[in-house]
Amino acid sequence: MLAEAKMGGVFSLFFCGCIFALALGQFALVYKFGDGGIYSFDILLLVFCLAALSFFIIKRKKIQVTVPGMLLCSFCLIGGISLAFSPIKLSSSELLVAGAYLVRLATYVLFYICLHNLVTAGLLKTGTIEKAVVVSGVFLFIAGIIQLIVFPNLGLISDLYDWDPHKNRMFATFFDPNFLGMYFVICLGISIKRMKRSALASTLLVCTYVFCLAEKEGFPNICFYFGTTSFFSGTKDTNQAYRHHRPK
C-alpha cells in the first residue's frame, strides 16, 4: 500500500508536468517537419502512458476500457486503415504529417484510458486533475495579458512560421486565440463545477460570457450561452422547489 501511495504521488506530479508542458504551447516545440511537429507534451504523454501501462501490467491489475474509450479506439483504428488504404495519392511528406496526427490522437486516447484507470485505482485524484488544468488556465491567462501588452501583433512573424496574422487578440503561448478560447471554456467549466452555486458564481459566469461576446469568439459564445441559460434555469427551479416545500 505504501508503494502504491508513492506511485500515486509520482503519477500526480507526472500528470501536472504533462499539463504544464501543454500550457507552454508553441514554446514546447521540439522538432518541426512540414505542417506537423513534435512537442514536449507529446513525448511526456507517451512516456506517462507507457509508465501507467507498465505499472498495471507489473501489478497485474485489470485495465478497464470504458465505452467512450472503445469508441475512440475504434475511431483511431478506422483512421489508420483509411490512411493506409486511402484511394487518394499522398506524398511522403503528407503521409508523414497525417500519420503523426493520427499517432498524437491515439496517444491522447491512451492517455484518457490510463487516467481513467489511475483514478479508479485511487492512484490519481480527480481533484488533482481539475486543479492542474485550472492552474494551467490561469498561467495561460497571465501569459495572454503579457502577450497583449508586449506582442499584440502575430502578423509580424506569421509569414515565417505560417501562422494566422492575429492582431490585438489574446493568443498567449498557443498562438491561436480560438484554441485558447476553447481551453478557457474547459478551465471555467471545471472552476464552476468546483464552486457552489452562489451569487459569486453567477456573477463570474455572466461577466465571462460578456467578455467572450466582446472577444467575438464563436465557440465560447455558444458554450457560455447554453451554460448561462442552463445554470440560471436550474437555479430558478431549485428556488421554486425550495419555496414550495419549505416549512411554514
Shared-domain flag, residues 199 and 81? no
pLDDT of residue 228: 47
Q: How confident is the model at residue 196 (pLDDT cuts 50, 70, 90)?
A: low
Q: How confident is the model at residue 239 (pLDDT cuts 50, 70, 90)?
A: very low
Shared-domain flag, residues 92 and 148? no
Shared-domain flag, residues 246 and 130? yes
Q: Select from 128, 94, 111, 114 the least CA-distant residue to 43.
A: 111
- 248 is written with which cell numbers? 411554514
Structural domains counted in the chain: 2
- pLDDT of 146 strictly over 80: yes
Select from 124, 150, 182 the last residue of a domain. 124
pLDDT of residue 245: 39
Cβ neighbours, 10 Å, residue 49? 21
Shared-domain flag, residues 12 and 102? yes
Query: 208-215: long-range contacts at Cβ-Cβ below 8 A with a sequence spacing of 24 or more?
Result: 212/181, 215/169, 215/170, 215/177, 215/181
Lowest mean pLDDT among 85-89, 144-148, 199-203: 199-203
Shared-domain flag, residues 135 and 180? yes
Model pTM above 0.85: no
- 183 is written with which cell numbers? 481551453
Mean pLDDT of 9-29: 93
Shared-domain flag, residues 100 and 11? yes
pLDDT of residue 112: 94
Shared-domain flag, residues 47 and 165? no
pLDDT of residue 164: 79
* pLDDT digit string, tens, across residues 148-162: 899 988 888 777 677
The parent domain of residue 31 ranges over: 1-124
The kind and range of the H/E element at 147 are helix 126-150
Select from 104, 124, 144 the last residue of a domain. 124
- pLDDT of 238 strictly over 50: no
Shared-domain flag, residues 218 and 178? yes
Q: How confident is the model at residue 3 (pLDDT cuts 50, 70, 90)?
A: low
Shared-domain flag, residues 118 and 143? no
* pLDDT digit string, tens, across residues 203-226: 555 555 555 555 555 444 445 545
Contact assessment for residue 119 and residue 126, using Cβ atoms and an 8 Å cutoff: yes
Shared-domain flag, residues 76 and 148? no
Q: Select from 230, 181, 180 the least CA-distant residue to 205.
A: 230
CA 28 – CA 140 distance, rounded (Å): 14
Select from 97, 124, 151 the last residue of a domain. 124
- 1 is written with which cell numbers? 500500500
